[in-house]
Structure 1
Amino acid sequence: MAVHDLLTSPLGPWGTGIDRQRGRGREVSKTVAFLAECQGSATIEVQRAAVSPDAHIVLAGRQSFNKLGDLLARSGVRLEAGDRVVVYDLTCIALSTATLIRLIKRLLRNGIIFEIVSAGIVINPAPDDKLHALVTALDDHHRYLHGLKTHPETASRGRKRLLAPDDLPEIKSKLERPGATATDVAQALGVSRSTLFNFLERYDPSRSTRRKKLEERGATGLGKSGHLA
């Protein structure tokens, strides 16, 4: 049997993975320990010694943590609400942080406890559990950033306009003050110089007219001098 196919439990390597209280026949929660040795991680022996002797041991071999369900299914074991998944340390899981957070969130959503033995961290699926809330927030944040990258057009959806046409009189008044500069006015408005200039070009007819006249004068002057021949 290949090491990544091996699953042992108190009921034997091919048991159902469900402990039953003696004489009552009632199912109780079980603990599944995912053991995998990666570069820089603790050895399998160290990991095994740190988990409960009653835990169902999954020796993952080359299989990653996201294959835990498949490894359990091969032996007829299924995780259920109230169960606990244990790893010795996160260095034993060769997955990206975002993927790992998503998998932990999925376990919690299904009512399964997640434990990191070496750090003494236990994340409960209860809605009021602070660590559960943190995992959810981190996953939501990753999805938000991923959404901005894949759909940048939604980034500005719902954003208030920085400058409105009604602001034009106030902006012109600021610019006409003695010593005023476009940079100073833009900073006071909380926008960039380019945003301010684009706004004036769009909403200030007098500015647009002056610019066109200057362009026409420049073109006429160049034409007379023969530079555009």
Structure 2
Amino acid sequence: MMTTAPTQGRSGRSARQRLLDAADELFYDEGVHTVGIDRIIERAGVAKASLYNSFGSKEELIEAYLDNRHAGTMARLTDAVQQHTDPVARVYAIFDAQAEMLAQPNFRGCAFISASAEAPPGGAIEHAADSYRADIRNLFTDLVEAAGAPDPATLGRQLHMIYDGAILSAQMDRDPSIAVAARAAVTALLDAALPSGSRRQPQAHPTTPPTKEHS
């Protein structure tokens, strides 16, 4: 990826950061394949050369956008997990954090699913999505292993499926209260898979959305 000394705009943000902020907003709202570089440049308020000096191409800008989404999601989930010491409560903490995300007015589903929809196989988008999904699945696997699951790889993958399903349902049905059903599914799965001494369910997060809300 090409790098140059950042140019500061009137806002104090570098041209690179302004481009990345504009791409994050437009790519997430409308899709990486729909939004052209001219709209990103216009939204960022920078010269066209700034995009090529900072990222080299639209593909590299998409990579940076997905890397940023990856890092942000993992930081949010890790922070939620670290608020608890009980292994089972840590699993639920991921779904509580997800419930908050689903209830956001600007929620538009999973950035990686959207970007992958029309992406060619084997490209940068596929690699970015694979890396992101592996980190989410490994987080679940590590947590249930700490909780005493006899088959943490299988249970981690099953929890990942519930996590994915909640995102898709909230997006397609425009109903963030699916988080309540997702949490119930997690409880049933953990009750069946974990030793009896590890099954205590923590109190539901108070921000879990109780009613249907357009996202």
Give yes or no for TM over 0.5: no
TM-score interval w.r.t. the shorter chain? Answer: under 0.3
Of structures 1 and 2, the larger Rg is shown by 1
Q: Would you tell me which structure has more strand in proportion to its own residues?
A: 1
**Structure showing greater relative contact order (alpha-carbon pairs closer than 8 Å, 6 or more residues apart):** 2
TM-score, scaled relative to structure 1: 0.25
Q: Would you tell me which structure has more helix in proportion to its own residues?
A: 2
TM-score, scaled relative to structure 2: 0.26
